[in-house]
Structure formats: structure tokens, C-alpha cells
């Protein structure tokens, strides 16, 4: 079945794109999840779609990702969109100004032991994003309980300013207080996002904070994936359907310009 045949028909927008602000998760939403984060590639067609949508939304389009902003820029080059990186611990505003949490030092007690644990345990990969430590076990899914136990031992209740989030085959430790919901909320307080209706597409547990924030603003929350409970009000089945829906937005924007 082609992607356009499985798109949630209630996702058809009732107003021009300039009425909305669009927020997009990356891995599992725009791009398939790879065995290693550095194996992901962005199709040229998607770059073109995002370029047109940035113009269609008059700049009110942002990436909201667990990846660092520098990583996003490398992936989506030459686009440099407004972005929330590391689950909201980094923000690049629409004017290009960047702000970053100053709590990176909170992770220092964990860096060496988590690195050693990953190096001696087959199938594990530690991704150090500076502001978070992500321990991937996609190559060894049977080690989920072992990974969770080791992280729990290292935190041990003695590092109250850190929190652990679980995503798809990954546990991530980061300073508490920021998430994708707080990031979307920050964008919505400034132009060109302010005064618009937010739309957020995401696929994972860490996107649920974003769905809650968007629902609170009477926006449009979209879970990518057909399984699992979610706060999102709508569904798209996979990344291909996301690409198809975004392409439809480009087409509708072009049609409006010709009228």
C-alpha cells in the first residue's frame, strides 16, 4: 500500500501553512533508525522538501531531536534550521542565536565508568553528546536489563540533578529540567512561531513531552508508528508516510501561491 493511502485523513490542514508552526523529530520520524547514529543519511529529496516547507511556513519550522545541533547541521547540510538538540538542552533560535545548558559537568562522574562498561560489553555503543550520555544496545537487545541495572548502579540516588530516559534500544542520562516539550514551548514564545498553531511529529517515548505540550496549546500531535500508547492525537505509520505528508504540504502551499 502506498504511503499516501495510509495517511490519517484528519491531518489535512484547514488553513494556509502560515497559520501553523511545524516541529519535527528526526530519528524514527524523518529518518529510519540505523544500527549506529552515524550511519544515518538524509535523502536529497527530503532536503528539498524541508527547504520548501521552511519558506512555506515563513521560517516557523524547527527540528526537535535527541541529536546535538552540530550533528543535525552535518546531517541536513546545507540547511541550518531552528533546532532543539539533546532533548531541549540546546536551542538555536530563528535568528541563529544558540543557547546551551551549562550543566554538562554533572555527567563527569559517569563518563569514565560508562565508557568502560560499553567497551567491555559486546554490542553496546556509548554516544557522548556532551550534554547527555546515550548507551545504545540495538546490536545486543538481550542486554536491556543489564544496561538498565548498570546505569541504576552508577546513579545510585546520589546524582539527583540527572535523569534517565529510555528510547528505542537506548538509555540516555542527561541533566533534568529540559525536554522536547519545554523546547517547543520556548519556540512558541518567539517569532515566527508565536501566535501559530503548533504541529509536532515524533515517534518515541522522549517525544511524549512534546505531544503533551502541543496538546496543551490546542495543536496537532502526530505519533509515527502504529503501535504503542501515546498522548498524540494522530498517527502516521512510518517515515515514508511522513515524507508523503510533508510533500503534500509543499504541494498545497504551491497551489495556494498560484491562486
Active site residues: 25
Residues 231, 1: Cα–Cα separation, whole Å = 27
Which contacts qualify for 104-111: CB closer than 8 Å, 24 or more apart? 104/130, 104/131, 104/175, 106/159, 106/161, 106/162, 106/175, 107/131, 107/132, 107/133, 107/162, 107/173, 107/174, 107/175, 109/154, 109/159, 110/154, 110/155, 110/159, 110/162, 110/173
Tell me if 18 sits within 8 A of 58, measured CB to CB.
Answer: yes
By three-state DSSP, how is residue 31 classified? Answer: strand
Q: How far is CA 211 from the centre of its chain?
A: 11
DSSP string for 186-244 = HHTTSTTTTTSEEEEEE-SGGGHHHHHHHHHTT-EEEEESSSS--S-SEEE-SHHHHHH
Q: Which of 114, 138, 139 is nearest to 126 (CA)?
A: 114
Q: How far apart are CA 70 and CA 90, in angstroms?
A: 10
- Give the N- to C-terminal CA distance of the chain in Å, as an integer: 32
Amino acid at each position: 500500500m502506498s504511503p499516501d493511502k495510509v495517511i490519517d485523513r484528519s491531518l489535512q490542514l484547514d488553513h494556509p501553512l502560515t497559520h501553523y508552526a511545524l516541529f519535527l523529530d528526526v530519528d524514527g520520524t524523518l529518518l529510519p533508525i540505523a544500527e549506529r547514529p552515524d550511519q544515518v543519511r538524509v535523502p536529497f529529496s527530503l532536503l528539498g522538501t524541508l527547504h520548501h516547507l521552511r519558506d512555506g511556513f515563513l521560517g516557523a519550522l524547527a527540528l526537535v531531536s535527541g541529536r546535538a545541533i552540530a550533528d543535525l547541521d552535518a546531517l541536513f547540510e546545507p540547511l541550518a534550521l531552528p533546532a532543539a538538540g539533546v532533548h531541549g538542552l540546546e536551542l538555536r533560535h530563528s535568528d541563529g542565536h544558540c543557547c546551551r545548558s551549562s550543566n554538562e559537568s554533572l555527567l563527569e562522574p559517569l563518563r569514565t565508568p560508562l565508557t568502560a562498561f560499553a567497551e567491555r560489553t559486546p554490542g553496546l555503543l556509548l554516544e557522548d553528546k556532551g550534554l547527555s550520555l546515550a548507551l545504545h544496545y540495538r546490536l545486543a537487545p538481550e542486554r536491556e536489563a543489564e544496561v538498565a541495572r548498570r546505569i541504576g548502579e552508577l546513579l545510585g540516588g546520589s546524582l539527583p540533578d540527572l535523569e534517565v530516559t529510555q528510547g528505542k534500544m537506548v538509555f540516555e542520562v542527561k541533566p533534568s529540567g529540559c525536554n522536547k516539550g519545554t523546547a517547543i514551548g520556548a519556540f512558541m514564545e518567539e517569532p515566527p512561531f508565536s501566535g501559530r498553531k503548533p504541529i509536532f511529529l515524533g515517534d518515541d517515548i522522549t517525544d511524549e513531552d512534546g505531544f503533551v505540550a502541543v496538546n496543551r496549546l490546542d495543536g496537532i500531535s502526530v505519533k509515527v508508528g502504529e503501535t504503542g500508547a501515546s498522548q498524540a492525537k494522530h498517527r502516521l505509520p512510518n517515515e515514508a508516510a511522513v515524507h508523503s505528508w510533508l510533500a503534500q504540504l509543499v504541494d498545497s502551499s504551491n497551489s495556494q501561491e498560484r491562486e
